Amino acid sequence: MPIYVDLSPQEITVPGVVRNASPARLYEDALTRERAGVVSSGAIAIRSGAKTGRSPKDKHVVRHRESEKDVWWGSTNHPIDEHTFLLNRQRAIDYLNTRDQIYVFDGFAGWDPIHRIKVRVICARAYHALFMHNMLIRPTQEELENFGTPECVIYNAGQFPANSLTVQMTSRTSVDISLERKEQVILGTEYAGEMKKGVFTLMHWLLPPKGVLSMHCAANEGASKDVSLFFGLSGTGKTTLSADPNRRLLGDDEHGWSDDGVFNVEGGCYAKCIGLAMNKEPEIFQAIRFGTVLENVVYDEITREVDYDSNAITENTRAAYPLEYIENTQMPSLAGHPSNVIFLTCDASGVLPPISRLTPEQAMYQFLSGYTARVAGTEMGVLQPQLAFSPCYSAAFLVRHPVVYARLLSEKIRQHRAQAWLVNTGWTGGGIGLGRRIDLASTRCIIDAIHAESLQDVPTERDSVFGLEAVCRVPGVSDRILVPRNAWPHPSEWEDAARALSGKFRQNFLPYANEAGEAVVQAGPAS
């Protein structure tokens, strides 16, 4: 039986409110009201409209006297004043109040009951309600009946545009967050991922003052309760490597590390599905069934088979499904302190070792750097990669200065004696066009060796440019590729390429150097 919810505090007056509906009910509404389709696996397929990804240039944070000194202002967090936020908020509320029916989903963010928050989503599309039903932690019937006042409210009026003539608005899309009110307002974009990332942005704000590190990472747990964290930007293998049949998955994207251990922030996964295949990622492939939201995929209108290789709508095709759809998942999504912290990088220059053991200072340096290379299109002969540095592997969602999160990571690594590793899933023996990409089988051997604790006493070799301790022996991996200088046809060419990359590292690190401290600066490349 539907549970009545009083939306007067949110100024919502629509008589038709569908609260925490079942996936079946949301399917019905999406099919009849939103031109969705059901594919052969039972998942629902739907489009997000003109916007098929996040709109980072249109993300705004309210500049408020209570919080402005602690916000990392710049290209990630664009300031707006509270008046403009309230104008957009009222615009969203007015639009929602014109609908004959709206959807509410009340759920939680954070599996640790000490640190979880109550989140209310108010939206006009059944698709958005189902998405957040999957992505938030779903309350029990008793928890829903006693939900009380939400601590965070999302007003999703994405079908309705922002007024671009409003002062401080730059387009007809606006995604606004008020840290004081703990509210998010969405206008002019129907991309569902904005809601998920809004919640994570808020957790990035709320957790650090409590001594909890908020992390954009995957996490899994072994049979002996050992926990590993996997940090990495797109294309580094974070999702693939953390989905290990021999280990239980905590989550693929957003976590917190408290004094009690690691906890997932979310109740589901939001996986990229471009190129998805059963033989490559069986866990994700099998999770796409009834209840899963497929976003912007192409499918055959007759057979209802999905063409996961098609990018006709977007490269950013997505699947949103509950955690329990992954068979080997830790539920509830809580675990102890990590034994291993793994930074994944796709180094297209071919100079970084496949695996390096890091000191706490080096870990902080690499975490603040968040280095990888975007190599999309390599298969079509693109030889010039785009280097990417994303502090804390999470630049788009950070609210505080990156050093705040990096210090917390360093402290927790020291306190809990976790070992940090840098794993290169990119090139060896030369950059793109000269060398070859490190094969997935070798990388899996490296990760398996980390988990087996078989790398503690093996020889290492310190390189002369980055100061990294390259592990020289890994079962199942050729010794030749483990020391990059040896893998190149000419060692002098490796050194030239390494010095070129180190210069980019040092240039990128300049904004963090003063606050990070001299010991961390010295943990980076020397020349």
Dump the DSSP string for 40-61: TTS-EEE--TT--S--GGGEEE
- Report the candidate in 496, 498, 454, 494 with the shortest Cα–Cα distance to residue 474: 454
Q: Angle 283-197-25 (CA atoms, 0-180°, nearest 5)?
A: 65
- The rounded distance, in Å, linking the Cα atoms of 43 and 353 is 41
SS3 216: strand
- Report the candidate in 331, 223, 325 with the shortest Cα–Cα distance to residue 284: 325
pLDDT value of residue 285: 94
DSSP 16: -
The Cα-based distances of 483 to 355, 413, 424 in angstroms read 9, 26, 12
pLDDT value of residue 378: 30
- Report the candidate in 202, 191, 8, 206 with the shortest Cα–Cα distance to residue 104: 8
pLDDT value of residue 527: 64
pLDDT value of residue 233: 87
508: tokens are 């990128």
pLDDT value of residue 513: 94
DSSP 104: E
* CATH 3.40.1110.10 is held by the domain 337-384+417-448+457-522: no
Task: Give the catalytic positions in this structure.
Answer: 54, 197, 216, 234, 238-239, 253, 318
> Any idea how long the chain is?
527
Strand partners, 214: 256
CB 242 within 8 A of CB 218: yes
For domain 15-44+56-210, give the CATH number.
3.40.449.10
- Report the candidate in 398, 399, 372 with the shortest Cα–Cα distance to residue 386: 372
pLDDT value of residue 234: 79
Domain ranges in the chain?
15-44+56-210, 337-384+417-448+457-522
pLDDT value of residue 2: 59
CB atoms within 10 A of CB 42: 13
Same fold, 15-44+56-210 and 337-384+417-448+457-522: no
SS3 519: helix
pLDDT value of residue 375: 60
pLDDT means over runs of 10, the chain (527 residues):
83 96 98 96 96 91 96 94 97 98 98 98 98 98 96 98 89 96 98 96 97 97 97 86 91 96 96 90 93 98 97 93 93 97 96 96 97 58 68 94 96 97 96 90 96 93 93 94 93 94 96 94 88
CB atoms within 10 A of CB 172: 15
* pTM, to two decimals: 0.94
CB 154 within 8 A of CB 186: yes
